[in-house]
Structure 1
Amino acid sequence: MSTIRKCAVKNCVYDESVTYHRIPKDFATRNDWLNLLCLPPTTSNRVCSKHFNPLDFVVKDDGHIWLKKNAYPFPVIITSEPFENEVEVEYTPLKYID
């Protein structure tokens, strides 16, 4: 039975094509990751590959994808206002001249 993993980063959408990586055990590196990702202090969470540069990975001969030991995730930017795709536009009716 397989387990569905979840990325610890807030609002990260599940994607079955990504790989998941544990937060490092090294105290300094772990704290750096937690600060960059705006996560509470824990080591049990996993971070998906969407939060790393593609150059941070190594593909082994057996096809397994490994995150390089010196890799750091992209910083998470938290905004106080939710992002909206809609733009409010004021409409002015056309006036026809005779």
Structure 2
Amino acid sequence: MPQSCVAYNCYIRHRKGGNLKFHTFPKTGLLRDKWIAALGRADFVPSTYSRICSKHFHENDYEINAHGKKVLKKDAIPSKFCFVNSIARSSDANV
């Protein structure tokens, strides 16, 4: 199954050899709830296959592990989103 980002207005799909990383949601707990809330999608429940691409994380959300690889910090929360179109659509509906 091809991976694609579940963030609103993000159409990025995984490409072999690409620079982007696709992160799985935390399994349980407060951090998972924060990730879901950050998406801003009503009634969204992530599945086993739901991913968020690295474009939604800041550079300081990553660290270099013992093997020299760039990995997401354990407490990182996605925070870079583009909600402009959703605001425009909801205001158009109210006219």
Deviates more, 1:3-12 or 1:32-41: 3-12
Asked if 1 retains the 8 angstrom alpha-carbon contact of 2:55 and 2:80, the reply is no
Aligned twin of 1:96: none
Q: Does the alignment pair 1:80 with 2:87?
A: yes
The 1:11–1:77 alpha-carbon spacing in structure 2 relative to 1, beyond 3 Å, is: closer
Taking structure 2 as the reference length, the TM-score comes to 0.67
Deviation above 6 Å: which 4+ runs of structure 1? none
The 1:47–1:22 alpha-carbon spacing in structure 2 relative to 1, beyond 3 Å, is: same
Q: Shift of the alpha carbon at 1:4?
A: 3.7
Which segments of 5 or more consecutive residues in structure 2 lack a partner in the other structure? 90-95
- What is the DSSP-based 3-state SS (H/G/I as helix, E as strand, rest coil) of the residue aligned with 1:33? helix
Aligned twin of 2:7: 9
Q: Shift of the alpha carbon at 1:48?
A: 0.6
Asked if 2 retains the 8 angstrom alpha-carbon contact of 1:36 and 1:75, the reply is no
Q: What amino acid is the match of 1:28?
A: L
Which segments of 5 or more consecutive residues in structure 1 lack a partner in the other structure? 83-98
Decide which structure has the larger Cα Rg and report it: 1
Q: What amino acid is the match of 1:20?
A: F
Larger RCO: Structure 1 or Structure 2 (Cα < 8 Å, ≥ 6 residues apart)?
Answer: 2
Aligned twin of 1:42: 46
Q: Please give the alpha-carbon distance, in whole angstroms, between the structure 2 residues aligned to 1:60 and 1:19.
A: 15
